[in-house]
Chains A and B, each alone.
Chain A
Amino acid sequence: MTENSSTQVLAQELEKAATQAEERVSVASNWQLVWWRFKKNRLALFSAAVLIFFYLIVLIPDFFATQDPEATEARLVFIPAQALNLFDESGLHPWVPAVVGKRNPVTLRMEWQVDPTKKVYVRFFGSGFKYSILGLFRTDIHLLGLEDPKSEDKIYLLGTDRLGRDQWSRMMYSTRTSMTVGLVAVALSVILGVLLGGISGYFGGWIDLIIQRLIELLQSLPTIPIWLAMTAALPQDWRPDQVFFAITIILAFIGWTTLGREVRGRFLSLREEDFVLAADLAGCSRFRIITRHMVPAFMSHIIATSTLAIPVMIVSETSLSFLGLGIRPPAISWGVLLQEAQNIQTIAQAPWLLTPGLFVILAVLAFNLVGDGLRDAADPYGH
């Protein structure tokens, strides 16, 4: 009897759970459905986590840096990367191998090598140089610090460049610049694209004609020479932050066209949708139809498309800066850092200077995977 009743109870429980799940789907909004579909895509989810980590660096690069990115040390140039070890013989006790310099008897250059026998002990959340978090409060806590802050040793997780600057710390600061350029440029082009594409698609007629011809004109221009011309036109005496904003505006100015076309296409097809006509017949104002019915219908597509546009912007900025036409030192971006690795001699001598390239690949890949995942999830009602 007990077994019988317990199976009955179980069956009831299962049924209840099933109806609850059904109820959950019934009242799920569009964004919930998109999230549920996106969640199934493991690769996109993982990439999203990578991007979140990148933007954490963007927010507080100082925390991840181990040294002042601008501090030069003429003696300590081209120090190789020191790998971080978590355990020593006694157990969990993070350390990096010390570097020892030897003068090359032929070239008379100092040559640095890691010496794994000598350990420099480090600790997580140790103290280092002072900085302020988001301008709110000051601290000297870093992700990685020397166990003995007073010692002369230094941590070069990715070695140093030709001026003895710490590559790892410079990477953290350049991540901030490069990732922000992508985001700001795409934000600007979304604004331009939605505005001009929306006007073009909603009103049609000669306005549409003019905007479409403008887009075709902009798209037919070869991008690299245009960038070169526009960045060359920037005054030389501008501050780095002014140059930064000028670059994002230039990127956005060329980049909005694809989005503009997409938005126009959406408006054109949505204008014919029955539910838009129904809203019109119900007596809704034009503003309400656009904001409540049309824009939400393509918002998820816009987000997916702009996610796919960010890596293009990042690569554009990197190539411009690499050519010396984008962001200029002392401001640093991935492209600026890669400038250091422009000749074969440097690459042979200090291959760790290519690490910004890895970051570019990682960021671009992550954005593309997330964008693809969003695009697939963007229309949960698709048949």
Chain B
Amino acid sequence: MTNHPTIQLPNHPTTQRLLEVKNLHKYFPIRKGFFRKTIGNVRAVDDVSFFVNEGETLGLVGESGCGKTTTARCILRALTPTSGEMLFRPKAGQTVDLAKLSRQGLRPLRPQMQMIFQDPYGSLNPRMTLFDIVGEPLLVNGMKNRKERTERVAEILRLVGLRPEYMQRYPHAFSGGQRQRIGIARALALHPRLVVADEPVSALDVSVQAQILNLLLELQKRLHLTYLFVAHNLSVVKHISDRVAVMYVGKIVETATTQALFNSPKHPYTAALLAAVPVPDPRVRTGNVELKGEVPSPANPPSGCYFHPRCGYAVDICRVQAPVFREIVPSHFVSCHRADELKLQGIA
């Protein structure tokens, strides 16, 4: 395996940043009345900054409605961000800010960043054959020759573990796991560098989840892919990610290497999420810091630290002042006033 990329540590001198997101905001206006006056904003993504190194997997986790998917869709410009920068380093040429590009300007970059969807049913057009689904990205990006396309589609189908003979079949002939493989094949058809996977296994049976995750890991090695992996299942994230970013109500509250984050979380929210991970050992007793209450509405977030109403460690300052996102140990970022003093329990 000569092209086996070594997993590079963050901040290693040779690592290169493929994507750097700076102060990303995405507000959805709330309109009301006949004249549709804006009376407020849903702050789905509220000042998010992170980076993804080439060849690594960044896991983006959080509860439902915390803005993970919105962040992912902003990066691929399925949504136009309200403000912020998304610096992407293309295969050739200058780093570009994806947030500023027009629809036309984005087209040449499309082949380099692709998406894997959560729902293996809704994401495949039921009226197209496998050949049309996987071949469409090739066709619209200039591969007009049908024979050439057929060969390429066959190659990709083999790559994701499907038989090329299935090419003339329609999606209804396949199971959920197979459909997800089709979705992966479509995403990889154009040799992308960045793959945004939006909960790619959460709609699948547990038995199939592992197969798809291992396929994703294998493809990463073979094709030198970079993943932004959105998920809410921490065991899945632990399995696949090199680094993890934790989101809460539109903000990133903690980011660290997977090992550091799982062993010694610095944010009470991360600790609470880790405590909720089921441990397959009946003798292990977790600290059981159960999360109380609901995720606050991003249209009307709490004062100070957004997490304080649910936080067991909240003190007065948490109620009034928003914490700063800071590097507490090298390459371990957290936004919590009490991060230095708290001793939070992780999972090994």
Contact = CB atoms under 8 A, between A and B. Distances in A.
A277 B172 CA distance: 20
Given A26-B173, A278-B117, A284 B136 contact: yes
A282 B110 contact: yes
Contact of B136 (A26, A28, A30, A282): A282
Contacts of A277: 78, 115, 117
A3 interface: no
B169 A275 contact: no
A297 B123 CA distance: 13
Interface in A288-302: 288, 293, 296-297
Contact of B117 (A33, A274, A284, A288): A274
B145 to A, nearest CB: 18
A155 B126 CA distance: 56
Contacts of B335: none
B127 A284 contact: no
A281 B127 contact: no
A283 B123 contact: no
A88 interface: no
Which of B124, B170, B190 has its CB near the most chain A CB atoms (within 10 A)? B170
Interface in A268-282: 273-275, 277-282
B43 interface: no
A278 B123 contact: yes
B125 A293 contact: yes
Contacts of B125: 275, 279, 293, 297
Given A27-B169, A381-B172, A274 B127 contact: no
A1 to B, nearest CB: 37
A293 B125 CA distance: 7
Contact of A30 (B111, B119, B124, B127): B127
Interface in B120-159: 122-127, 129, 136-137, 140-141
A274 B140 contact: no
Nearest to A276: B125
B115 A288 contact: no
B186 A28 contact: no
B78 A282 contact: no
A281 B113 CA distance: 8
B76 interface: yes
A285 B76 CA distance: 16
Nearest to A288: B140
A29 interface: yes
Contacts of B78: 277, 280-281
A275 B124 contact: yes
Contact of B122 (A25, A273, A280): A273
Interface in A1-57: 25-30, 33
Interface string B160-173: 00000010111011
B258 interface: no
Contact of A381 (B126, B129, B141): B126
A216 to B, nearest CB: 14
Nearest to B125: A275
28 contacts: A25-B172, A26-B170, A27-B168, A27-B170, A27-B173, A28-B170, A29-B170, A30-B126, A30-B127, A30-B170, A274-B122, A275-B125, A277-B78, A277-B117, A278-B123, A278-B183, A281-B115, A282-B110, A282-B114, A282-B140, A282-B186, A283-B107, A283-B110, A283-B111, A283-B137, A283-B140, A297-B127, A381-B126
Nearest first, the 6 closest Cβ-Cβ pairs linking A and B are A26-B173, A274-B123, A282-B137, A283-B110, A26-B169, A275-B125
Interface of B: 76, 78, 107, 110-111, 114-115, 117-119, 122-127, 129, 136-137, 140-141, 166, 168-170, 172-173, 183, 186, 190
Given A26-B170, A283-B111, 15 more contacts: A26-B166, A27-B168, A27-B169, A27-B173, A273-B122, A277-B78, A278-B183, A281-B76, A282-B110, A282-B137, A282-B141, A283-B107, A283-B137, A284-B140, A293-B125
